[in-house]
């Protein structure tokens, strides 16, 4: 049995879909049952095959009570967390992102169960200390928001407690792709701006407030969700590997690259307007991210198989956004 927390969400449901493609249906999905009344989140899993679904609170209670101790659990893939980079309630993040993850990682180690958990590139802050996933460098990192802080605290705790011999933390960079509609304001720019692009309207991008970056030239390491899932399942297949790994393409691309790829994939003329950045995000805006993928490549993951940005955006728009189709459907 494989447990996928956040299994009705973005990356989680894509993982379940890929497990189904492998012929696996012995899956327990853990998610906020009350939140699955969101139409898009329901549609993420409506066509998927799984054994049962458990609410988050119920799962944590059962896990700590020992209800899973004698079950044949192969792995817990822990994608469930608050992913909002603007969340300001630290007590909520501490419980939902930090303590919840610790509960799962501890249980997995004590029961010899594979644990793969989601970390984040938000741990790197503004990148002044680079994007190297060497565990010795964790203490130098300064996240720009509480979400990043919550992810970094788990990585440091897992390192210091020597849980990373068996567990794997994956620092996802800018993941985009099908099954993210329910994220609303936290959707990728591709999903958010597609309706404007498809209807012939202007696509808006933020102005730059750093002299070395022109408007729209701010850069991110964008990774397609199918490649993120491929990395997750690589570590499921290689249980002998532990540690924290960056999951990105290793290639920073600009927002203008994204916009141009979207117009090309939609067969629409380019119309781009630069707008002011909201004040509340100026202080935590990342102008550049680029995963150091050398450690991931050394582990045996084939980075060369990752989608190119233009190919990923074309597939996303043409196969998923335009027909409003969910992954695996």
Q: Is residue 283 part of a domain?
A: no
Residue 38: per-residue pLDDT: 66
The encoded tokens of residue 189 equal 């720019």
Q: Is residue 273 part of a domain?
A: no
Q: Is residue 293 part of a domain?
A: yes
Q: Which SS3 state, helix, strand or coil, does residue 179 take?
A: coil
Count the domains in the chain: 1
Q: Is residue 328 part of a domain?
A: no
Residue 283's pLDDT band, with cuts at 50, 70 and 90, is confident
Q: Is residue 120 part of a domain?
A: yes
Domain CATH for 237: 3.40.50.720
List pLDDT tens digits, range 187-214.
999 999 999 999 999 999 999 999 999 9
Percentage of the chain lying above the pLDDT 70 cut? 98
Q: Is residue 297 part of a domain?
A: yes
How many Å apart are CA 206 and CA 99, to the nearest integer? 35
**Domain membership of residue 228 as a residue range:** 2-176+222-250+289-306
Kindly tell me the burial class for residue 59, based on how many C-beta atoms sit within 10 Å of its own C-beta (0-12, 13-18, 19 or more).
buried
Q: CB–CB of 176/225 below 8 Å? A: yes
Q: Is residue 256 part of a domain?
A: no
- Report the predicted TM-score, pTM, of the whole model to 2 decimal places: 0.96
- Catalytic positions, please? 147, 183
């Amino acid at each position: 049995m494989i447990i996928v927390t956040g299994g009705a969400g973005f990356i989680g449901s894509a993982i379940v879909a890929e497990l189904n493609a492998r012929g696996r249906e012995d899956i327990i999905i853990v998610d906020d049952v009350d939140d699955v009344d969101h139409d898009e989140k329901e549609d993420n899993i409506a066509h998927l095959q799984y054994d049962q679904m458990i609410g988050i609170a119920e799962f944590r209670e059962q896990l700590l009570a020992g209800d899973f101790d004698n079950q044949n659990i192969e792995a817990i893939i822990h994608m469930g967390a608050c992913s909002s980079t603007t969340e300001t309630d630290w007590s909520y993040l501490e419980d939902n992102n930090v303590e919840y993850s610790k509960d799962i990682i501890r249980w997995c180690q004590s029961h010899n169960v594979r644990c793969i958990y989601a970390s984040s590139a938000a741990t790197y802050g503004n990148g002044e200390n680079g994007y190297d996933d060497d565990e010795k460098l964790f203490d130098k990192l300064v996240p720009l928001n509480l979400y990043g802080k919550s992810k970094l605290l788990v990585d440091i705790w897992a390192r210091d407690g020597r849980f990373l011999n068996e567990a794997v933390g994956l620092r996802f960079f800018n993941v985009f792709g099908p099954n993210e509609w329910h994220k609303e304001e936290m959707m990728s720019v591709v999903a958010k701006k597609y309706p404007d692009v498809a209807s012939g309207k202007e696509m808006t991008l933020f102005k730059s407030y750093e002299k070395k970056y022109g408007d729209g030239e701010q850069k991110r390491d964008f990774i397609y969700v199918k490649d993120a899932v491929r990395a997750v399942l690589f570590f499921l297949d290689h249980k002998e590997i532990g540690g924290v790994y960056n999951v990105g393409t290793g290639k920073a691309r600009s927002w203008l690259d994204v916009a141009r790829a979207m117009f090309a994939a939609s067969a629409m003329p380019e119309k781009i307007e630069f707008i002011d950045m909201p004040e509340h995000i100026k202080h935590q805006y990342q102008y550049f991210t680029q995963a150091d993928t050398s450690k991931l490549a050394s582990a045996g993951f084939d980075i060369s198989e990752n989608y190119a940005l233009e190919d990923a955006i074309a597939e996303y728009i043409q196969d998923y956004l335009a027909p409003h189709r969910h992954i695996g459907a």
